[in-house]
Amino acid sequence: MSDAAQPTAADVRAAAEAVKAALERHLEAVERRSEAADSGAPVPEADTAVYAAFDELAAAGERYDELLYDVYDEVTPFEVPGGDAMPDYTGPDEPRALTVFIRRDYTVSEPLRLLSQAQRVTDLDPESTEDERERNGAAAGRSVHAALGVVFGEYEPDEIATRHKEFGLDEGDATLWIAAADEAAEPGEWLAAPFDDADPERVVCRFDVSTVFDDQDLDDEEGGFSRGTPLR
Protein backbone atom coordinates (compact mmCIF):
# COMPACT_ATOMS: atom_id res chain seq x y z
CA MET A 1 0.00 0.00 0.00
CA SER A 2 1.39 3.44 -0.95
CA ASP A 3 1.89 6.28 1.52
CA ALA A 4 -0.96 8.18 -0.13
CA ALA A 5 -3.36 5.37 0.69
CA GLN A 6 -2.46 5.21 4.39
CA PRO A 7 -5.25 6.34 6.75
CA THR A 8 -4.74 9.61 8.57
CA ALA A 9 -5.71 11.12 11.90
CA ALA A 10 -8.45 12.98 10.04
CA ASP A 11 -9.85 9.63 8.86
CA VAL A 12 -9.96 8.41 12.46
CA ARG A 13 -11.75 11.59 13.55
CA ALA A 14 -14.30 11.20 10.73
CA ALA A 15 -14.88 7.55 11.66
CA ALA A 16 -15.44 8.56 15.30
CA GLU A 17 -18.05 11.11 14.20
CA ALA A 18 -19.73 8.41 12.10
CA VAL A 19 -19.94 6.18 15.17
CA LYS A 20 -21.55 8.99 17.18
CA ALA A 21 -24.12 9.58 14.44
CA ALA A 22 -24.84 5.86 14.13
CA LEU A 23 -25.30 5.60 17.90
CA GLU A 24 -27.83 8.41 17.82
CA ARG A 25 -29.75 6.84 14.93
CA HIS A 26 -29.80 3.46 16.67
CA LEU A 27 -31.13 4.99 19.89
CA GLU A 28 -33.80 6.92 17.99
CA ALA A 29 -34.91 3.73 16.21
CA VAL A 30 -35.11 1.85 19.51
CA GLU A 31 -37.13 4.69 21.07
CA ARG A 32 -39.54 4.76 18.12
CA ARG A 33 -40.07 1.01 18.41
CA SER A 34 -40.77 1.31 22.12
CA GLU A 35 -43.28 4.11 21.49
CA ALA A 36 -44.98 2.04 18.78
CA ALA A 37 -45.27 -0.95 21.12
CA ASP A 38 -46.72 1.22 23.90
CA SER A 39 -49.32 2.72 21.55
CA GLY A 40 -50.39 -0.63 20.16
CA ALA A 41 -49.19 0.24 16.65
CA PRO A 42 -47.69 -2.48 14.39
CA VAL A 43 -44.09 -3.18 15.44
CA PRO A 44 -42.51 -5.12 12.50
CA GLU A 45 -41.70 -1.94 10.55
CA ALA A 46 -40.12 -0.41 13.65
CA ASP A 47 -38.17 -3.66 14.17
CA THR A 48 -36.77 -3.38 10.65
CA ALA A 49 -35.54 0.14 11.41
CA VAL A 50 -33.81 -1.07 14.58
CA TYR A 51 -32.09 -3.91 12.73
CA ALA A 52 -30.93 -1.55 9.99
CA ALA A 53 -29.60 0.92 12.57
CA PHE A 54 -27.83 -1.94 14.33
CA ASP A 55 -26.10 -2.97 11.11
CA GLU A 56 -25.05 0.64 10.49
CA LEU A 57 -23.69 0.98 14.02
CA ALA A 58 -21.79 -2.30 13.76
CA ALA A 59 -20.20 -1.26 10.46
CA ALA A 60 -19.28 2.20 11.79
CA GLY A 61 -17.78 0.72 14.96
CA GLU A 62 -15.73 -1.81 13.02
CA ARG A 63 -14.44 0.88 10.66
CA TYR A 64 -13.47 3.16 13.55
CA ASP A 65 -11.71 0.32 15.37
CA GLU A 66 -9.70 -0.58 12.25
CA LEU A 67 -8.61 3.02 11.62
CA LEU A 68 -7.79 3.63 15.28
CA TYR A 69 -5.47 0.63 15.22
CA ASP A 70 -3.88 1.50 11.87
CA VAL A 71 -3.10 5.10 12.83
CA TYR A 72 -2.54 4.95 16.59
CA ASP A 73 -1.98 1.24 17.29
CA GLU A 74 -4.89 1.37 19.76
CA VAL A 75 -8.22 -0.46 20.05
CA THR A 76 -11.59 0.35 21.57
CA PRO A 77 -12.50 -1.06 25.02
CA PHE A 78 -15.77 -2.44 23.71
CA GLU A 79 -16.77 -4.79 20.95
CA VAL A 80 -19.60 -4.07 18.53
CA PRO A 81 -20.93 -7.38 17.13
CA GLY A 82 -19.84 -7.40 13.53
CA GLY A 83 -20.89 -9.23 10.40
CA ASP A 84 -18.15 -11.84 10.64
CA ALA A 85 -19.66 -13.70 13.60
CA MET A 86 -22.75 -14.91 11.76
CA PRO A 87 -23.90 -14.76 8.13
CA ASP A 88 -26.74 -12.48 7.11
CA TYR A 89 -30.15 -13.60 8.33
CA THR A 90 -32.26 -15.12 5.55
CA GLY A 91 -35.16 -16.54 7.57
CA PRO A 92 -38.74 -15.28 7.68
CA ASP A 93 -39.42 -11.74 8.91
CA GLU A 94 -42.13 -13.04 11.23
CA PRO A 95 -41.13 -16.55 12.37
CA ARG A 96 -44.07 -18.76 13.30
CA ALA A 97 -41.92 -21.39 14.99
CA LEU A 98 -38.53 -21.54 16.71
CA THR A 99 -35.83 -24.15 17.21
CA VAL A 100 -33.37 -23.83 20.09
CA PHE A 101 -29.98 -25.48 19.65
CA ILE A 102 -27.84 -25.82 22.78
CA ARG A 103 -24.30 -27.08 23.21
CA ARG A 104 -22.44 -27.22 26.52
CA ASP A 105 -18.99 -28.77 26.90
CA TYR A 106 -17.66 -30.24 30.14
CA THR A 107 -14.53 -32.01 31.31
CA VAL A 108 -14.65 -34.72 33.97
CA SER A 109 -12.29 -33.09 36.45
CA GLU A 110 -13.14 -35.23 39.50
CA PRO A 111 -14.15 -38.75 38.43
CA LEU A 112 -14.55 -39.98 42.01
CA ARG A 113 -17.05 -37.22 42.79
CA LEU A 114 -18.99 -38.10 39.64
CA LEU A 115 -19.02 -41.80 40.56
CA SER A 116 -20.15 -40.99 44.08
CA GLN A 117 -23.05 -38.85 42.88
CA ALA A 118 -24.16 -41.53 40.41
CA GLN A 119 -24.00 -44.14 43.18
CA ARG A 120 -26.14 -41.92 45.39
CA VAL A 121 -28.77 -41.48 42.67
CA THR A 122 -29.11 -45.23 42.10
CA ASP A 123 -29.19 -45.97 45.85
CA LEU A 124 -32.10 -43.55 46.34
CA ASP A 125 -34.15 -44.65 43.32
CA PRO A 126 -37.57 -45.49 44.82
CA GLU A 127 -38.83 -47.28 41.71
CA SER A 128 -36.14 -49.94 41.49
CA THR A 129 -35.87 -53.16 43.45
CA GLU A 130 -33.05 -53.83 45.86
CA ASP A 131 -31.38 -56.14 43.33
CA GLU A 132 -31.68 -53.51 40.59
CA ARG A 133 -30.26 -50.81 42.85
CA GLU A 134 -27.35 -53.03 43.78
CA ARG A 135 -26.64 -53.99 40.16
CA ASN A 136 -27.06 -50.47 38.74
CA GLY A 137 -25.21 -48.87 41.61
CA ALA A 138 -22.24 -51.17 41.14
CA ALA A 139 -22.00 -50.20 37.46
CA ALA A 140 -22.45 -46.48 38.17
CA GLY A 141 -19.86 -46.57 40.93
CA ARG A 142 -17.17 -48.18 38.75
CA SER A 143 -17.63 -46.70 35.28
CA VAL A 144 -17.47 -43.02 34.33
CA HIS A 145 -19.49 -43.88 31.24
CA ALA A 146 -22.26 -45.43 33.33
CA ALA A 147 -22.08 -42.62 35.91
CA LEU A 148 -22.58 -39.97 33.22
CA GLY A 149 -25.64 -41.81 31.97
CA VAL A 150 -27.10 -41.93 35.48
CA VAL A 151 -26.41 -38.27 36.30
CA PHE A 152 -27.61 -36.83 33.00
CA GLY A 153 -30.61 -39.13 33.09
CA GLU A 154 -31.60 -37.94 36.55
CA TYR A 155 -31.00 -34.18 36.34
CA GLU A 156 -32.13 -31.57 33.84
CA PRO A 157 -29.31 -30.10 31.71
CA ASP A 158 -29.90 -26.63 33.20
CA GLU A 159 -29.56 -28.03 36.72
CA ILE A 160 -26.31 -29.76 35.82
CA ALA A 161 -25.06 -26.48 34.34
CA THR A 162 -25.66 -24.67 37.64
CA ARG A 163 -24.40 -27.52 39.84
CA HIS A 164 -21.63 -28.96 37.66
CA LYS A 165 -19.01 -28.74 40.40
CA GLU A 166 -21.09 -31.09 42.56
CA PHE A 167 -20.85 -33.71 39.82
CA GLY A 168 -17.09 -33.39 39.35
CA LEU A 169 -17.43 -31.48 36.08
CA ASP A 170 -15.73 -28.33 34.82
CA GLU A 171 -17.47 -26.11 32.28
CA GLY A 172 -16.09 -25.58 28.80
CA ASP A 173 -17.52 -23.43 26.02
CA ALA A 174 -21.28 -23.17 25.59
CA THR A 175 -23.55 -21.74 22.94
CA LEU A 176 -27.29 -21.33 22.44
CA TRP A 177 -28.82 -20.63 19.04
CA ILE A 178 -32.42 -19.52 18.56
CA ALA A 179 -33.32 -20.23 14.95
CA ALA A 180 -36.45 -19.33 13.01
CA ALA A 181 -38.53 -22.07 11.44
CA ASP A 182 -41.30 -21.82 8.84
CA GLU A 183 -43.52 -24.13 10.85
CA ALA A 184 -43.33 -26.45 13.82
CA ALA A 185 -41.86 -29.88 13.09
CA GLU A 186 -44.02 -32.97 13.25
CA PRO A 187 -43.52 -35.20 16.33
CA GLY A 188 -40.44 -37.36 15.83
CA GLU A 189 -39.54 -35.68 12.52
CA TRP A 190 -35.99 -34.64 13.40
CA LEU A 191 -35.09 -37.08 16.20
CA ALA A 192 -32.83 -39.18 13.96
CA ALA A 193 -30.66 -36.14 13.13
CA PRO A 194 -31.52 -33.34 15.58
CA PHE A 195 -28.77 -30.90 14.58
CA ASP A 196 -28.83 -31.19 10.80
CA ASP A 197 -31.12 -28.16 10.56
CA ALA A 198 -28.79 -25.83 12.49
CA ASP A 199 -28.65 -23.23 9.71
CA PRO A 200 -26.62 -20.13 10.77
CA GLU A 201 -28.57 -18.02 8.27
CA ARG A 202 -31.79 -18.65 10.22
CA VAL A 203 -30.38 -17.75 13.64
CA VAL A 204 -32.45 -14.97 15.22
CA CYS A 205 -29.99 -14.56 18.08
CA ARG A 206 -27.26 -16.53 19.81
CA PHE A 207 -25.54 -16.47 23.18
CA ASP A 208 -21.98 -17.70 23.72
CA VAL A 209 -20.07 -18.40 26.92
CA SER A 210 -16.32 -19.00 26.85
CA THR A 211 -13.24 -18.23 28.89
CA VAL A 212 -11.65 -17.10 25.62
CA PHE A 213 -13.33 -13.76 26.34
CA ASP A 214 -11.31 -13.31 29.54
CA ASP A 215 -8.55 -11.32 27.86
CA GLN A 216 -11.15 -8.92 26.49
CA ASP A 217 -13.17 -8.52 29.68
CA LEU A 218 -10.82 -8.60 32.67
CA ASP A 219 -13.50 -7.20 34.99
CA ASP A 220 -15.57 -10.37 34.63
CA GLU A 221 -15.04 -12.33 37.85
CA GLU A 222 -16.70 -15.55 36.70
CA GLY A 223 -14.28 -16.24 33.88
CA GLY A 224 -16.99 -16.35 31.21
CA PHE A 225 -20.04 -14.40 30.08
CA SER A 226 -22.86 -14.38 27.58
CA ARG A 227 -22.86 -12.53 24.33
CA GLY A 228 -25.97 -11.99 22.27
CA THR A 229 -26.05 -11.41 18.54
CA PRO A 230 -29.46 -10.00 17.56
CA LEU A 231 -31.32 -10.62 14.33
CA ARG A 232 -29.59 -8.71 11.57
CA angle 45, 50, 54 (to 5 degrees): 150
Higher pLDDT, 212 or 146: 146
Residue 178, strand partner residues: 100, 205
Q: How does DSSP assign 35-63, residue by residue?
A: HHHHHT---HHHHHHHHHHHHHHHHHHHH
For 177-197, b/e burial (b = at least 16 CB within 10 A) is bbbbbeeeeeeeeeeeeeeee
Give percent above pLDDT 70 in the chain: 75
Q: How far apart are CA 147 and CA 162, in angstroms?
A: 18
- What is the DSSP pairing of strand 227-229 with strand 169-181? unpaired
Look at residue 49 and tell me whether its pLDDT is greater than 70. Answer: yes
**pLDDT score recorded for residue 132:** 54
Q: How far apart are CA 151 and CA 135, in angstroms?
A: 16
Residue range 127-160, pLDDT digits in tens: 555 555 455 555 676 789 889 988 998 999 999 9
CA 203, 207, 213, 218 torsion-angle sign: positive
Distance from the Cα of residue 176 to its chain's centroid: 4
- Nearest-CA neighbor of 174 among 218, 212, 230? 212
Look at residue 109 and tell me whether its pLDDT is greater than 80. Answer: yes
Q: What is the mean pLDDT of the chain?
A: 79
CB 88 within 8 A of CB 232: yes
Residue 169, strand partner residues: 108
**pLDDT score recorded for residue 123:** 79
